[in-house]
Amino acid sequence: MVKPSSELEKAALARLKERNVTIEEIAELVYDLQTPYLEGLTMEYCLHNVEAVIRKREIQNAILTGIELDVLAEEGKLASPLQEIIANDEGLFGVDEILALSIVNVYGSIGLTNFGYLDKLKPKVINRLDSVKEGEGINTFLDDIVGAIAAAAASRIAHANPEEGTAGVN
């Protein structure tokens, strides 16, 4: 039976929480991305947009799939060579970014620019996820997923406020 989106939403939020990522931290990334372009932007509004992004089924699917692969890799349960590739976060793998793009694509090309920016600079929570040491966890998919959710939420804000200009365009 097909699960309703609200159940997937609960599962996706629970998964993020289990992996020690709060939606407040994601909202902080959104705030930093959009505050130069939108006067009076609040954290509350950013948080609202992060929640709206996570309400979409495509995005819930990407969150659940990526985190599952990270967890299975942590448990050593993937078949070789995928196990080693994900455990070592091999640079040429690229499927983590592709999965994240399925999140970003929901909100169009501004999302893409923001995602690239976050992926390059790795601010705040992304840096924390990206710099876990060997044996302390695997976030090969999660760092990209978090960046993609933030990028998508920033795009959602930009699209809702077109007269204010947008990150990556102005």
144 binding Mg ion? (CB under 5 A) = yes
70 binding Mg ion? (CB under 5 A) = no
Instruction: Indicate the residue among 5 and 88 with the shorter CB distance to Mg ion.
Output: 88
Query: Which residue has 């793998």 as its token pair?
Result: 93
CB of 62 to Mg ion, least distance (A): 13
129-152 burial, b at 16+ Cβ within 10 Å, e below that, comes to: bbeeeeeeebbbbbbbbbbbbbbb
Segment lying near Mg ion (by CB under 5 A), choices 10-18, 43-51, 61-69, 90-98: 90-98
Instruction: Indicate the residue among 57 and 122 with the shorter CB distance to Mg ion.
Output: 122
Instruction: Give the residue, chosen from 96, 99, 113, 126, that forms a contact with Mg ion under the rule CB under 5 A.
Output: 96
DSSP 8-class letter at 107: G
- Asked if 64 and 8 count as a contact pair (C-beta separation under 8 A), the reply is yes
Q: By the criterion CB under 5 A, which residues form the site for Mg ion?
A: 96, 140, 143-144
